[in-house]
Structure 1
């Protein structure tokens, strides 16, 4: 089993939508995929038709003392999503403290899932270090937009790990084209050789409770994400 995590460099760069789309694309290529929402916002489930009123999830299960592995939703055979669950702020803090005290928790959980899935994809939050302890990941992607804010944040990162993926790229924008050239020179192979283009279909897909590949298979964003899934398959590594 290969693990992949997506984490935004800042909020609002479309990480959850991109993770949902990547999981769907990998599944369309014949892979067995589980998507895990590590974010208290609990939005990932909405891309797979789970009702907004549904409170359950792995974190909710931990608070309630029930089995976390009973909380996954089967979207279709070989494709599942494990929501975070609906928690109050103080309950989110309890989960964060638990994960900080037991950073190997998701390593053990990954091991228990290995025989059932080829891929496990994590939607990792920005500012909860305990929630970022998802165990071994062969691929860690930081999601950025080609804008001034992300450029400044990249310069401020002292230990920038993983690969960089540009989301919502607009080739008409001179600023974005310039930043792409700068980042290619500055980050080299760490910047993925592909970008996910700005496409209204990505926003519309969430309104229809679907990943973009299921909502608009022929859209530019869906084709970009399919290329991303293919790139992930070629980089499949044993987790370390």
Structure 2
């Protein structure tokens, strides 16, 4: 049960979009994938065609429902999604308080999916440090840190390298890796930052994703970049990242057949 956390020290880096397309790429290769949203913005579901007006999710019911898998939605194919859901401020605060104070809260909620054979879990987190990111440290197999090819990301690199995201190393299993997003060869600063990151991070850089308008257009259509523009540069780049993730975590590529779904309501 490989579990990948997608996070970033800053917002606006395309983190959720990358998490969704990583899920799509692994599913295309035959893995059963569960995408979990830990961000109150509740946007991950939109990448899988869940209607905007569908506000269901696990957070609002986390107190009364120990098994969060009951809130999983199926989106077709090999992908399932566990949305954050639409919640009140009081519900959000209570959820985060439980994450911070109860060391077993997260494991209890995810116990069913953590033990589901062959499932790959992609978890998307809000930017910066937070109780969910810290609570997941003990369960995750890998952390993927998304940065932009800009000077702001360079300035925030020490925050990750010096363990200031959660006060300790992000991952004690396979470690944390970086993805550089929206690299633009037409801009000098983007080229320079990309070269710097490649040299600084070495093998810890999973890949560079080039700026590609088809990604934004795919988002607007609630499709993966593979369905919207399979020959695009971004689709190629993300697929390379997915292959590196699969190799590091020894994810077995299946035959694409879908087995009986996890409990689902969509």
- In 1, the alpha carbon distance for the partners of 2:106 and 2:97 equals 14
Deviates more, 1:112-121 or 1:41-50: 112-121
Q: Secondary structure at the match of 2:218?
A: helix
Cα deviation, residue 111, structure 1: 4.1
1:159 and 2:152 aligned: no
- In 2, the alpha carbon distance for the partners of 1:106 and 1:220 equals 37
1:184 and 2:191 aligned: no
- What is the aligned partner in structure 2 of residue 149 from structure 1? 152
- In 1, the alpha carbon distance for the partners of 2:241 and 2:197 equals 19
- What is the aligned partner in structure 2 of residue 236 from structure 1? 249
- What is the aligned partner in structure 2 of residue 118 from structure 1? 119
Map 1:83-98 to 2 at 5 A. 83-98=83-98
- 1:3-40 CA deviation, whole Å, 9 max, x = no partner? 10111231000111111100010000010100000100
- 1:166-186 CA deviation, whole Å, 9 max, x = no partner? 011112222122122222332
In the superposition, the TM-score normalised over structure 2's length comes to: 0.82
In the superposition, the TM-score normalised over structure 1's length comes to: 0.91
In structure 2, stretches of 5+ residues that fail to align are 165-169, 171-175, 252-266
Contact 1:170 1:198 survives alignment (8 Å): yes
Q: Kindly tell me: are residues 16 and 156 of structure 1, through their superposed partners in 2, closer, same or farther at Cα, counting changes over 3 Å?
A: closer
Q: Secondary structure at the match of 1:178?
A: helix
In structure 1, stretches of 5+ residues that fail to align are none
Cα deviation, residue 106, structure 1: 2.9
Cα deviation, residue 154, structure 1: 1.2
Equivalent residues, number: 236
Cα deviation, residue 128, structure 1: 5.2
- In 2, the alpha carbon distance for the partners of 1:118 and 1:68 equals 16
- In 2, the alpha carbon distance for the partners of 1:174 and 1:110 equals 45
Contact 2:68 2:110 survives alignment (8 Å): no
Cα deviation, residue 62, structure 1: 1.6
Q: Secondary structure at the match of 1:53?
A: coil
Cα deviation, residue 200, structure 1: 0.8
- What is the aligned partner in structure 1 of residue 131 from structure 2? 130
Contact 2:16 2:44 survives alignment (8 Å): yes
Q: Secondary structure at the match of 1:57?
A: coil
Cα deviation, residue 142, structure 1: 0.6
- 1:137-184 CA deviation, whole Å, 9 max, x = no partner? 222111000111111111344227411110111122221221222223
- What is the aligned partner in structure 1 of residue 143 from structure 2? 140
RMSD: 1.9
- What is the aligned partner in structure 2 of residue 220 from structure 1? 233
1:172 and 2:186 aligned: yes
Cα deviation, residue 208, structure 1: 0.8
- In 2, the alpha carbon distance for the partners of 1:22 and 1:110 equals 21
- In 2, the alpha carbon distance for the partners of 1:164 and 1:183 equals 9
- In 2, the alpha carbon distance for the partners of 1:179 and 1:111 equals 41
